[in-house]
Structure 1
């Protein structure tokens, strides 16, 4: 049996199903076809490190997670500051 992989967005929505929408863990697990330990672990991960939770395959270092968080917060893009993406 092949191991399933889920996107970060799916994991967050699965946690919200339980924490914000009031669906019980057992019911959410049946609907999403997950073991009960999975959403409980994901709830702990999201609570302990909201920005660094679910970085992808494997764990990102704290430094990598911080860089990703800063990039998401930064409203400045390369085009807005006039940096040429493909210089002539």
Structure 2
């Protein structure tokens, strides 16, 4: 929100002072969040926060699990179609 509205104000301090009451925090908190977000995205120097690293690892694991679950789902659909194509036994 700060980055979106920064062009409307002369300084970043003025931007944070205007936006902070709207989201229910003090204006000193927003620059800290902005620096942390810039580090997490990689636009600023410094290390990425542990939370970001763990979130990235969880997303990767989630993607791997979805791909692993896709194989049995496709196999069961394939065998179900093969079963429908088979002539009836009488």
Highest Rg: 1 or 2? Answer: 2
Q: Which has the higher contact order (CA 8 A, sep 6+)?
A: 1
Q: Which structure has more helix as a fraction of its residues?
A: 2
Q: TM-score, normalised by structure 2?
A: 0.47
Q: TM-score, normalising length from structure 1? A: 0.47
